[in-house]
Structure 1
Amino acid sequence: MDHSAPGVYLTSQQCVRVPLATLQNELNSYLATLKTKLVEVINEDYSDYVGLSGRLANVEGAVVRMRRPLIELRDKLHAVQEAVRSELNSLNQGLRRRKEVATQRALLELTLEVSHVAAKVEKLLEEVAASDSVAVAAAAGGEAAADGAPAPPSPRSPLTSASAAAASAASASASAAALSDAELLAHCRLLERVAAEVSRLAFLANKGKDLAFVRALEPRIAGHRAALRGRLKAALAAALAPAPAPQPAGAAPGGGPRSVAAALHALHAAADLCEPGEAEGVVRSVVVAPMVERLIAEHKSATGHSASLGGLSALLSAITAGVRSSMGSLLEAALAPGSALRGLDLLGAAVLEEVQGALAAAMPGVFSPGVPPAFHANYRATLAWLAGLEELCATRGSVERLRSCPAHASLMRRWNTSVYFSLLYQEIAGELEDALSADRLEAPPPLAPGGAADPLTAAAAPQLAPTATLLRCLRRATSPEVVLPPLTDRFLRLALQLAQRYAAWLATAATARREAVAAAAAGGGGAGALGVVPGAAAAAGAAGSPAPTGAAAWATSMSAEELLVVVADAESVHSVLLGPFTTAFLELLPQSTPTAAPPSDCAAPDAAGDAAPNVIATVRSALAEAAEAVRGGGRSLAAALTDEAIERCVTVVRQLKGITATYRMTSKGPPSRASHYVGGVLTPLRSLLEAGSARRLASQFQRELLVLPVADGVCSRYGALAEELLSSVRKTESSLKRLKKAKGGAGGEEDSAASAISDSDKITLQLHLDVEELGRQLAALLVAGPAASADVGEVVAAALPTFRRLQEVVAPPPGLLAALAAGGGGTSAASTGGAASGGGGLL
């Protein structure tokens, strides 16, 4: 008990099923024992614990002896701490003073450097001003000597203020024009050096913008920049001016700039000065603007009043050639990878901006969508021209910069593609709407002599003018001569709308046909009016419903054989939409970007590569849906025609009611061949299949659209009529037997012998022979080659479940055929083809 665990004890007691009261008493007893032993253990050492303080001697003295060295150690540590803190404070003060001295020294050095650079800039500008004065004096020396006037004195410090800078800049153009090529090159090099120093001075001034000295220099720095800006513009204009007629050695041929090297130095100076707009403006005004103005004037003089309606491609090609000739070296230097001139946008801000502005001012008609062909040609020419400009770019960044520049966006905004599409939409959709609104169907007009057939029309070979119009409109909606890259999605929607409109036209015709037939049947025309629809229209009017009018009136005035032309055209349009049209439209997708792709060596990652499969799949799905809508409309009309054919076939099938009278009113023996009416049951279907329009349908479509629906409907209706007839005959025969049985009497044996084969059996056998003959006719339509007579029923039943049901309905009673064969009933002819279409035991 003492060493056992409580859990083990409780488990053991539960296993022997100890009562809870007994268990509680034992546990309480154990608890009391534990408490007693605990008290005994405490009392064993209690005396030692109580006498502990009495046995300790001189505790206070020991504490004092232990505290003294600790206090001494603490005092030493405090002294060291104070010494370290004082040394740290002195070091921090020294570092702070050193930092202040360094800061003051840096400010002093910055001030000295700003002053030195400012003086250097002023000295360089004085050199530039002196050279300008010498050039001006040399140019005006002859005139001054002739007039007796002294030469103007050289300015002492021309750029000490903004007004002096403006005055010196005014004379810069004349001095730059008077310099020789070598002097101009040296002058531009000096300006590039000055620009570098001015840029350095601006950097230093921005670094020390809080200094009073620097703030005092700001007017002088602004004057230096203004003076340098004017001289740079003058020098760049002089360097870019066309070379004189007798070109010196080293000049660019073909009307190029006077000095390419000097122009490059001036452009570098403008880039260093961080003012690219001034240089771009000079290039635009000196090089691009005169060239564009001259080319536009030559183009207008060559094309006359039609200059704004077309011919933009030739003008833009001439502009591109002129840009390459007059600015080739500049563009090559500015667009080279890592060029220091990458801050200049000569293509966008100079060339593109000037061209689009000049075209809008001198030839506004090129942007007018009033003449869609000319608008399309001009837009395509513009895209090709932009692609040519992008070919001049050597890096991906240059291409992106050209595409994102304001001039590019302004040029593309001038093309009102929405109005262009609206005009074409009205033209294309209006043409199809006019063709579909006609109240009669006509053949498409013949192709003009020497004219090229439309690819879609040639692929479909339509037999109706509306279908030919649809294909022609679809071709225009995918023609590269009509579609513009930004409008690809709109032309896709247009094509889908054209297809849906054609499908709705077919559905409306099918509905009108069904309504006319229903009205004819309600007016007493019956199934006989189904093939000649003028009678149906008249019957509809006689029945009180209005005769069909409008766009679908032709559907009620044509025979079923003629309407098959519409079904055949619908199938052709379906094939064209899924085939040639889809292929032609997908060819437009890779060119759906507004400009050409960058060169291969700087091509951007193919961002459209991942999206292209999705786009292609979406386009294919949309066109497939439109094609299915067209096929659905055509098959809806085909279903209406097959319903008519079924009614005409069932009209013949209803003659089976005469079989009852034949065998009840006569003592005719069992039948041996099919009834004569069976040969005419499928005559309406054969008429449809032999029509020229049906022959245009593939055999698969003939079977799917005509043969199977008509055969299924005829077999279903035939089975219902046969089942009704046999049910009536058997009920009548059953009633007669009950009456005879009720009469009883003599003569029963004679009656039984005479009626070994009842009239119902004869009628059932006749229907069985008729169905077998119908199966042979259906097999001839369903099977391409000759089929064995033993397999005819199985072949037809496999294709038509309703025919199998018909066979089950007219199946003779078990043993009847065997009994007739044994009794010489002559049924062998029924199984060996005795069902001649003209024979029979009726009428």
Structure 2
Amino acid sequence: MLDLHSPSLPSRSAAELFGDPSGDSEPLWFKKSSFLRPDFDPESYIADLRSFVPLESLGAELRSHLAALKSELVELINRDYADFVSLSTRLVDVDSSVARMRAPLAEFRDKVASLRTVLDNSLLSLRGGLHQRAEASAAREILERLLDTFHVVSKVEKLIKELPSTLSHGSGVEIDHVEKNILGSESSLHPAENGTNLGLTQSILLERIASEMNRIKFSFSNAKDLPFIINMEKRIQSATELLDHSLGCCFIDGLEHPNSGLHVFDFLANSILKEVLFAIQKGKPGAFSPGRPTEFLKNYKSSLTFLGHLEGNCSSRSVVSKFRSQAIYADFMRQWNIGVYFSLRFQEIAGALDSSLADANITLVEDSHRNRDCQVTLTLKQSFALLESLRTCWSEEVFIFTCSDKFFRLSLQLLSRYSTWLSSHLVAKNACSSDSSSNSERAINKPVEDFIYVMHDVGFLVAELSGDYLEHVLRLLESCSSEVLDLVRRGFLQAIRSLTDYLPILKDRMVEGISERSVEDLKQLKGISATYRMTSKLPVRHSPYVSAILRPLKTFLDDERVAYLSKELKNELLHSIAERITSRYHEMASDVVNLARKTESSLLRLRQGAQRRAGASSDAMDSNISDTDKICMLLFLDIQEYGRNLAIFGIQASHITAFRSLWQLVAPEDRQAQISF
């Protein structure tokens, strides 16, 4: 190929490359031979050239070439003009020549047509013969197949009749007759050999029958629409059923007798279980997905039931162990992703409890979930969520035995989480934080009546979890060893004991809260000293504040929430509150009396000093009643009223140590021996 960019070639101008209209030479890109090619396409030709040749240059070159062609045509005509003109003179008597040629051609055409007709007739006859031959061959083939099917069916029926029904019902005559037909031997078996050879004889006969039945099934599948085959369908079906029954009996007999050799192959694992696994993977692959836990658990338990049924066919524990050691068994169990299932259940159960415990406020259970009988069910949403979560862990719809340790650990975690909520949101002390908006401060500011719900729920949970709930868990784990069951029992009881430890704290919080309300009224006791100091007035009735001391206790007992407390717990709280109030009463009264005595002693010393300096007698002063005596007289009247108020609540004041001390403090000497109102 000519290289336009080769340095050895002389340089050319654009006019030489793209054509010069004034010159005689043609450009290199214009090839006249292209117009003579059979596949010449004007549009493609122009499209190829216009990428590097201007359309004006291309049009000019084409017009120039057209003019050259016309000029060449004129030159050719002029060159052979004499021959062209003389052509008409040489064409003389053309019609007669044509007539002479027509007759032979017509004759030749008739011969060809006649020969073609003969060939068509021969070909048609040949095709008809071939068709008849094919039909005859097909009919013969069908007939042979029908005859073969008939003979095979008859043969199978004959063999089935000669087949011993079971190993246990065989006889020496039957065995001898069968072996004559099968082995071609006329010798009879020895009676001692009957039991040994009957199974082998039956197996060989069944193998022959099964082989013949395959031939029948092949013939039936290729000619099932023929009337002859249709009429034999019942016979074929009957033979098939008899063969299947005999094969099943033989197979079962082989499995029951080890002298058979079938025990070498593990049918349970490598046949039944393998096919079941393949069928599940192919027909219902979603059965192994733990994404839908409820359906997954149902399928998993069904599979365990199926495996248990298979293991029930094992003759000994060693056979069961061998079955479980098979690779297909491990593969089948590996399909059930129990770890993912437990993770989903963990998020579901723990998440529900965390959502409830996220609220620091005490929230009552909705009426639809709560029985009005407070002794039967829970009251708080948080407690209800805990019990529901714990029950869910060991419910039939969630629990899986293979995850027993995980569900046990989850149960302990749930109890620990609830205990943490009690500690941080309900009984926390506010001394650790000065932030009034903290959880501790909010817990302190809660009404003490709300802690009735907490005490009730904690008591209910302790009784429920240590009773029926624990027994339910132990029943689910009864197949475990006694050591495991003991660990589970101790673990649950220890976790339940952590809840029990909060009962005294809750009780103390309630006693403290109600007592502090009564102390607000007891503070009026400090005004007694100012009332009876430096006056001759003697008290004749109790102070007004006494009636208000036990008013918070009465308000507490009248609250409807107290109905959630048991009678024993309510009496215990009542006595504890009374003892706490009485103790504070005794402390404050002691402070008042002691302060009055100190003040009186100081005043007495000052007066005595002044009297001695004045030379006066102190007998007149000594005959007056002291301020301390008047204060004690009033306090004595007050505690008598207080004791009567305690009796209204069914509390005997004399049984309270602090009340007895208070009585000894303010009662007159003649009344100190016996407490009476």
> Considering the TM-score relative to the shorter chain, is it more than 0.5?
yes
1:474 pairs with 2:344: no
Q: Which residue of 2 aligns with 1:741?
A: 608
Deviation of 1:698 after TM superposition, in Å, equals: 0.4
Deviation of 1:424 after TM superposition, in Å, equals: 0.8
Q: Which residue of 2 aligns with 1:682?
A: 550
1:352 pairs with 2:273: yes
What SS does the aligned partner of 2:582 have? helix
Deviation string for 1:302-337 (max 9, x for gaps)? xxxxxxxxxxxxxxxxxxxxxxxxxx5554446xxx
Q: Which residue of 2 aligns with 1:624?
A: 493
Q: Which residue of 1 aligns with 2:516?
A: 647
Q: Which residue of 2 aligns with 1:763?
A: 631
Q: Which amino acid aligns with 1:445?
A: E
Answer yes or no: is the 8 Å Cα contact 1:376–1:481 preserved in 2.
yes
What SS does the aligned partner of 2:247 have? coil
Alignment of structure 1 residues 806-821 onto 2, 5 Å:
806-808=662-664, 810-812=665-667, 814-815=669-670
- Cα distance, 1:501–1:616 mapped onto 2, change above 3 Å: same
How far apart are the structure 2 equivalents of 1:729 and 1:708? Answer: 31
- Cα distance, 1:579–1:772 mapped onto 2, change above 3 Å: farther
Q: Which residue of 2 aligns with 1:545?
A: 435
Q: Which residue of 1 aligns with 2:472?
A: 584
1:753 pairs with 2:633: no
How far apart are the structure 1 equivalents of 2:284 and 2:370? Answer: 35
Q: Which residue of 2 aligns with 1:423?
A: 344
The partner residue of 1:515 within 430, 442, 458 is 430
Answer yes or no: is the 8 Å Cα contact 1:460–1:573 preserved in 2.
no
The partner residue of 2:574 within 704, 707, 717 is 707
What SS does the aligned partner of 1:545 have? coil
Deviation of 1:484 after TM superposition, in Å, equals: 0.8
Deviation string for 1:150-190 (max 9, x for gaps)? xxxxxxxxxxxxxxxxxxxxxxxxxxx99956699979x99
Deviation of 1:239 after TM superposition, in Å, equals: 9.2
Deviation of 1:368 after TM superposition, in Å, equals: 1.2
Answer yes or no: is the 8 Å Cα contact 1:369–1:420 preserved in 2.
yes
Alignment of structure 1 residues 180-199 onto 2, 5 Å:
none
- Cα distance, 1:707–1:375 mapped onto 2, change above 3 Å: same
Alignment of structure 1 residues 15-54 onto 2, 5 Å:
none
Q: Which residue of 1 aligns with 2:532?
A: 663
Alignment of structure 1 residues 369-388 onto 2, 5 Å:
369-388=290-309
Answer yes or no: is the 8 Å Cα contact 2:430–2:441 preserved in 1.
no
Answer yes or no: is the 8 Å Cα contact 1:660–1:729 preserved in 2.
yes
How far apart are the structure 2 equivalents of 1:381 and 1:459? Answer: 40
Alignment of structure 1 residues 303-702 onto 2, 5 Å:
328-333=252-257, 342-438=263-359, 440-447=361-368, 460-511=376-427, 514-515=429-430, 545-548=435-438, 555=443, 558-590=446-478, 608=480, 611-612=481-482, 614-633=483-502, 636-669=505-538, 671=539, 673-702=541-570
Deviation of 1:420 after TM superposition, in Å, equals: 0.6
Q: Which amino acid aligns with 1:408?
A: Y
- Find the structure with the greater CA-based Rg: 2
Answer yes or no: is the 8 Å Cα contact 1:772–1:793 preserved in 2.
no
Count of residue correspondences:
473
Answer yes or no: is the 8 Å Cα contact 2:470–2:489 preserved in 1.
yes
How far apart are the structure 2 equivalents of 1:235 and 1:458? Answer: 77
Deviation of 1:421 after TM superposition, in Å, equals: 0.9
- Cα distance, 1:723–1:422 mapped onto 2, change above 3 Å: same
How far apart are the structure 2 equivalents of 1:239 and 1:730? Answer: 125
The TM-score, its normalising length taken from structure 1, stands at 0.49
- Cα distance, 1:439–1:780 mapped onto 2, change above 3 Å: same
- Cα distance, 1:365–1:675 mapped onto 2, change above 3 Å: same
Q: Which residue of 2 aligns with 1:67?
A: none
How far apart are the structure 1 equivalents of 2:547 and 2:212? Answer: 99
Q: Which amino acid aligns with 1:750?
A: A
Alignment of structure 1 residues 137-152 onto 2, 5 Å:
none
How far apart are the structure 1 equivalents of 2:260 and 2:494? Answer: 54
Deviation of 1:702 after TM superposition, in Å, equals: 2.3
Q: Which amino acid aligns with 2:318?
A: G
Answer yes or no: is the 8 Å Cα contact 1:707–1:782 preserved in 2.
no
- Cα distance, 1:692–1:624 mapped onto 2, change above 3 Å: farther
The TM-score, its normalising length taken from structure 2, stands at 0.59
Deviation of 1:747 after TM superposition, in Å, equals: 4.7
Q: Which amino acid aligns with 1:760?
A: T
Deviation of 1:498 after TM superposition, in Å, equals: 1.8
Answer yes or no: is the 8 Å Cα contact 2:654–2:675 preserved in 1.
no
What SS does the aligned partner of 1:356 have? helix
Higher relative contact order (CA 8 A, sep 6+): 1
What SS does the aligned partner of 1:476 have? helix
Answer yes or no: is the 8 Å Cα contact 1:703–1:782 preserved in 2.
no
Q: Which residue of 1 aligns with 2:656?
A: 796
- Cα distance, 1:380–1:573 mapped onto 2, change above 3 Å: same
Q: Which amino acid aligns with 1:353?
A: K
Answer yes or no: is the 8 Å Cα contact 1:240–1:260 preserved in 2.
no
Deviation string for 1:648-695 (max 9, x for gaps)? 2212222211222232143123x5654332222222233222222222
Q: Which amino acid aligns with 1:547?
A: S
- Cα distance, 1:693–1:339 mapped onto 2, change above 3 Å: farther
Q: Which amino acid aligns with 1:420?
A: Y
Deviation of 1:344 after TM superposition, in Å, equals: 4.2
What SS does the aligned partner of 1:689 have? helix
How far apart are the structure 1 equivalents of 2:212 and 2:485? Answer: 50
Answer yes or no: is the 8 Å Cα contact 2:543–2:634 preserved in 1.
yes
- Cα distance, 1:662–1:259 mapped onto 2, change above 3 Å: closer
- List gaps (5 residues or longer) in structure 1: 1-141, 148-176, 191-230, 264-327, 448-452, 520-543, 593-607, 784-791, 819-829, 834-843
Answer yes or no: is the 8 Å Cα contact 2:514–2:577 preserved in 1.
yes
- Cα distance, 1:417–1:625 mapped onto 2, change above 3 Å: same
How far apart are the structure 2 equivalents of 1:554 and 1:361? Answer: 60
How far apart are the structure 2 equivalents of 1:642 and 1:722? Answer: 21
Answer yes or no: is the 8 Å Cα contact 1:660–1:763 preserved in 2.
yes
Deviation of 1:440 after TM superposition, in Å, equals: 4.5
Q: Which amino acid aligns with 2:599?
A: T
How far apart are the structure 1 equivalents of 2:272 and 2:551? Answer: 79
How far apart are the structure 2 equivalents of 1:463 and 1:377? Answer: 33
Question: Percent of aligned pairs with the same residue?
Answer: 31
Deviation string for 1:33-54 (max 9, x for gaps)? xxxxxxxxxxxxxxxxxxxxxx
Q: Which amino acid aligns with 2:381?
A: A
How far apart are the structure 2 equivalents of 1:246 and 1:647? Answer: 102
What SS does the aligned partner of 2:426 have? helix
Answer yes or no: is the 8 Å Cα contact 2:435–2:441 preserved in 1.
no
How far apart are the structure 2 equivalents of 1:240 and 1:398? Answer: 37
How far apart are the structure 1 equivalents of 2:477 and 2:302? Answer: 19
Deviation of 1:375 after TM superposition, in Å, equals: 0.8
- Cα distance, 1:413–1:736 mapped onto 2, change above 3 Å: same
Deviation of 1:558 after TM superposition, in Å, equals: 4.7
Q: Which amino acid aligns with 2:632?
A: T
- The CA RMSD measured in Å over matched residues stands at 4.5
What SS does the aligned partner of 2:271 have? helix
How far apart are the structure 2 equivalents of 1:486 and 1:439? Answer: 36
Q: Which residue of 2 aligns with 1:277?
A: none
Answer yes or no: is the 8 Å Cα contact 1:568–1:693 preserved in 2.
no
What SS does the aligned partner of 2:545 have? helix
Answer yes or no: is the 8 Å Cα contact 2:374–2:563 preserved in 1.
no
Deviation of 1:458 after TM superposition, in Å, equals: 10
What SS does the aligned partner of 2:399 have? coil
Q: Which amino acid aligns with 1:480?
A: E
- Cα distance, 1:378–1:434 mapped onto 2, change above 3 Å: same
Answer yes or no: is the 8 Å Cα contact 2:524–2:545 preserved in 1.
yes
